[in-house]
Amino acid sequence: MKKIILSIMLLSSVMLNAQITPEIYSWRQNINGITGYNGIPADVQQVFFSDNYTYVKSTGIPSYPIGPWAMNPNIPTNQNWSFKITRFPVADPTPLAAGNGQIGVLINGVVLFNSGDAMSYNNQNIWHRVAQYFEAVSFDTSGGHPAPGGVYHYHINMKYLYTPDPVLHSPLLGYMFDGFPLYGPYAYSGTNGSGGIRRMISGFVKRNISVRTTLPDGTVLQQNQWGPNVSTQYPLGCFVEDYELSGSGTDLDEHNGRFCVTPEYPNGTYAYFITVDSLGNPVYPYIIGKTYYGEVVPGNIPPGGHVVITEPVTQYLPVGISNHNSHINFELYQNYPNPFNPETSIKFDLEKSAFISLKIYDLNGREIKTLLKENLSAGSYITKFNASDLPGGVYFYEFRSGDIAVQKKMVLIK
């Protein structure tokens, strides 16, 4: 086996540059030893990157509460996931099916499944059951549940990971295994970033059928291949084949995405979007269509998920977090609102008196502004940052006390 070279690097503000892109810095790393379900270490444990790939290691357990799961005998277990995400995703002219098992990973290291429950009517592999209908009783209040083998996962919107805001572009939630990002349901109306914010509309609609004798592509089935008639027991929409792609009035394609500008990708990217209705209820295909948009990186999908790193990589550590335990005498909060335009508030708490600094940097690591640089007493503080003179995009704010610094991301929308 090749020797793995891990170049451990403590990232400081001057080291942030165009190389540190969203697929590297967006992961929710567990830097405080937080545990989740059953005392299992939570969220993402480590992130490494090379010139072409990001490697994400996680337990598959979130830091927020999960469970219980009615009528489900399975319990979540530590999956020791290790995923490989391409940093330069490309479209696939012959897209791969988004099959059963893990198809992508959230920023907290929890995996995503497709819309199905891996079963079909009469086990014929023709009429595929939709998990949201047949398994929703076993979903917890976050919308997830464990599979056999202990894989905690989502088929639909993950309610505790984030809170959708209809007036703000939804946050980046994770990456599918073709390397393209996944966002919540709200996005810029125009693909070029114009037109305000609105909810993305699925490209799929329920077919106008009462009997299940044909497939969405027009294939006429033999009688022994028919599905059950549409009824109270089997309502329209409970099978994948109950849906077809709409011709108009939608935002998203057959993969449940589109090419567009996002806060993290101001030059544009293909992106997937969670689909919900106006009340927040899940809408088919929920996360992804039947196929990926891009070329899928080998080693992630079942029976994978435990990629071995065989190239020189650098460990990405949030600024100020080293490989030894250090006592941090402050807490830095996420700015609010975020995204913002043009002003946002940054809150921090100090356990004791200290000389501190609070600075703003752009995505290339250039210092934009020093908000604070002084001795402060113990207490809670809120500082305003006005970015009316800056272009829209991703920025970082760094809080430093002594030799410890912590950095968080914020997004300016214009």
Q: What is the reported pTM?
A: 0.77
Q: Mean pLDDT, to the nearest integer, of 279-298?
A: 97
* Residues shown for the chain: 414
* 187 within some domain: yes
* 13 within some domain: no
- Whether residue 116 is found in the same domain as residue 173: yes
Reported confidence tier of residue 19, pLDDT bands at 50, 70, 90 = low
pLDDT in tens, 142-175: 999 999 999 999 999 999 999 999 999 999 999 9
- d(C-alpha 255, C-alpha 260), whole Å: 14
- d(C-alpha 212, C-alpha 243), whole Å: 11
* 325 within some domain: no
Lowest mean pLDDT among 8-12, 76-80, 237-241, 403-407: 8-12
Mean pLDDT of the chain: 90
Q: Cα 82 to the chain's mean position, in Å? A: 16
- Whether residue 135 is found in the same domain as residue 251: yes
- d(C-alpha 33, C-alpha 19), whole Å: 28
- d(C-alpha 34, C-alpha 398), whole Å: 22
pLDDT at position 321: 46
- Whether residue 271 is found in the same domain as residue 401: no
- Residue keyed to tokens 């009429």: 127
pLDDT at residue 2 greater than cutoff 50: no
pLDDT at position 44: 97
* 3 within some domain: no
- d(C-alpha 334, C-alpha 143), whole Å: 25
pLDDT at position 274: 98
Lowest mean pLDDT among 35-44, 278-287, 375-384: 375-384
- Specify whether the CB–CB gap between 380 and 34 falls below 8 A: no
Reported confidence tier of residue 86, pLDDT bands at 50, 70, 90 = very high
pLDDT at position 187: 97
Structural domain boundaries enclosing 115: 21-315
- Whether residue 162 is found in the same domain as residue 81: yes
* 402 within some domain: yes
Domain boundary among 291, 315, 339: 315
- Whether residue 248 is found in the same domain as residue 184: yes
- Whether residue 196 is found in the same domain as residue 134: yes
- Residue keyed to tokens 């800056």: 390
pLDDT at position 230: 98
Q: What is the DSSP string of 91-138?
A: B-SSPPB--SS--EEETTS-EE--SEEEEEGGG-SSSEEEHHHHTGGG
- Whether residue 345 is found in the same domain as residue 295: no
pLDDT at residue 319 greater than cutoff 80: no
Q: Mean pLDDT, to the nearest integer, of 272-282?
A: 97
pLDDT at position 328: 63
* 59 within some domain: yes
Domain boundary among 315, 342, 368: 315
pLDDT at residue 15 greater than cutoff 50: no
pLDDT in tens, 231-265: 999 999 999 999 999 977 899 999 999 999 999 99
- Whether residue 274 is found in the same domain as residue 406: no
pLDDT at residue 113 greater than cutoff 90: yes
Q: How many domains would you assign to the chain?
A: 2
- d(C-alpha 155, C-alpha 136), whole Å: 10
* 236 within some domain: yes
User: Given its phi and psi angles, is residue 252 left (phi above 0), alpha (psi -120 to 50 degrees) or beta?
Assistant: beta
Domain boundary among 256, 291, 315: 315
Residues whose CB falls within 8 Å of the CB of residue 85, separated by 6 or more in sequence, listed in order: 23, 53, 54, 55, 56, 105, 175, 177, 179, 297
| Element counts in the chain: helices (H) and strands (E) | 2, 26
Highest mean pLDDT of the ranges 154-158, 191-195, 351-355:
154-158
pLDDT at position 256: 98
- Whether residue 278 is found in the same domain as residue 309: yes
pLDDT in tens, 52-80: 999 999 999 999 999 999 999 999 999 99
pLDDT at position 32: 83
- Specify whether the CB–CB gap between 378 and 353 falls below 8 A: yes
pLDDT at position 343: 94
- Whether residue 98 is found in the same domain as residue 215: yes
pLDDT at position 164: 92
pLDDT at position 4: 33
* 10 within some domain: no
- Whether residue 269 is found in the same domain as residue 354: no
- Whether residue 204 is found in the same domain as residue 275: yes
